[in-house]
Amino acid sequence: MAAPDRRAGVDRDREAVTADPTRLRIDHSTDGDVTLLEPRGVLDLGTYPHLRDTLIKSAMEQPRAVVVDLDSLRIPTEATLSVFATVWMQVSEWPAVPIVLVASNPDDREWLRRQAIANVVPVLATVREARESLDDPPPRRRAALELPCSPASAALARRFVSETCQRWECAETLPAATTVASELVENAVRHARSEPKLSLELRSGTLAVAVYDDDPAPAQLVRTGRVQSRHLGLRLVANLARAWSCGPTWSGGKVVWAVLRIMSRIG
């Protein structure tokens, strides 16, 4: 890794504009229940999206943690480090997979720890240290349902949410969870023209509703002053959920998820 003070003589703005995304290769491996990413090349505005999407896709697989080895990554400007904060913000509510940075050089670690991202993403010396720093994963229950690309899937999704929430004894969240699941499944059928996969995940205090589809185009909520007949589905989701977002998946599609607050406890 090379921090900015060890780099000279480059027109950074020009580089950002002409940056070639192929200049960042990200090696991807698993170490037990942890995903290890090794970005090789340069992190700049051109390669930022590639690293961001790879981090999100990796987190969506729900490993115990995503560990990023920065030893082969050049970081010409500290501004691009915000990629780690951006991803952390997007995945912290769900799937809440920790992201840990590893830098073997003590100077690099010191430099990283002085940056704002160190508040949310720990910086450690080795992958082993990173692994040892992890807390035990929180207790959770999961259930998933694969649905056809059909308007009838929304009703199937609502039945599934209803049965699952009753089994999990979190029936108080049923009205919101049913609506959120129904709307996300309808969007996957109507806009993404996909066979949606609905996933529910119960943790202490939250129920996450996630719907996977085959379309990488992100779900977007257009905020307008007046009520319009378009976008009502996501407006419902946004107003019922504590948080919602979407991200790319390794299969080339996306997952849209919403996290609901519940009273029930598990574990």
Partner 1 sequence: MSVPQLRIAHEIVGNAVVVHVAGEIDMANAPVIKAHLDRACHRAHPPQTVVADLTEVVFLGSAGLSVLLEVDEACRGRRTPLWVVATTPGVVRPLRVTGMDQVLKVADSLDSVVQTA
Of 240, 154, 162, nearest to 200 (Cα)? 162
Quick count: other Cβ atoms within 10 Å of Cβ 260? 20
How many residues touch partner 1 under the rule CB under 8 A: the total is 27
The label of the residue with tokens 């560990």 reads 67
Tokens describing residue 35: 């995903």
Per CB under 8 A, 145 contacts partner 1: no
Q: Say whether residue 229 binds partner 1 (CB under 8 A).
A: yes
Binding of partner 1 by 196 (CB under 8 A): no
Instruction: Let me know: does 19 contact 44? Beta carbons within 8 Å.
Output: yes
CA distance 174 to 257: 16
Q: Is 190 in the site for partner 1 (CB under 8 A)?
A: yes
Give the whole-angstrom CA distance, residue 216 versus residue 58. Answer: 15
228 interacts with partner 1 by CB under 8 A = yes
Closest CB to partner 1 among residues 91, 209: 209
Q: How far out from the chain centre does Cα 109 lie?
A: 25
Task: Based on the shown chain and the rule CB under 8 A, indicate whether residue 175 belongs to the binding site for partner 1.
Answer: yes
Find tokens 């950074």 and name the residue: 12
58, 164, 182, 206: residue in contact with partner 1 (rule CB under 8 A): 182
Q: How far is the CB of 195 from partner 1 (least distance, A)?
A: 15
Greatest alpha-carbon pair distance for the chain in Å reads: 63
Q: Residue 155 interacts with partner 1 (CB under 8 A)?
A: yes
Cβ proximity to partner 1, 14 vs 230, nearer residue: 230
Q: How far is the CB of 218 from partner 1 (least distance, A)?
A: 18
Identify the DSSP state of 2: B
Note whether 139 binds partner 1 by CB under 8 A.
no
Query: Which window, 43-51, 97-105, 221-229, 245-253, contacts partner 1 (CB under 8 A)?
Result: 221-229
Say if CB 258 and CB 246 are below 8 A apart.
no
- Write out the residues near partner 1 by the rule CB under 8 A: 150-152, 154-156, 158-159, 175, 178-179, 182-183, 186, 189-190, 226-230, 232-233, 235-236, 239-240
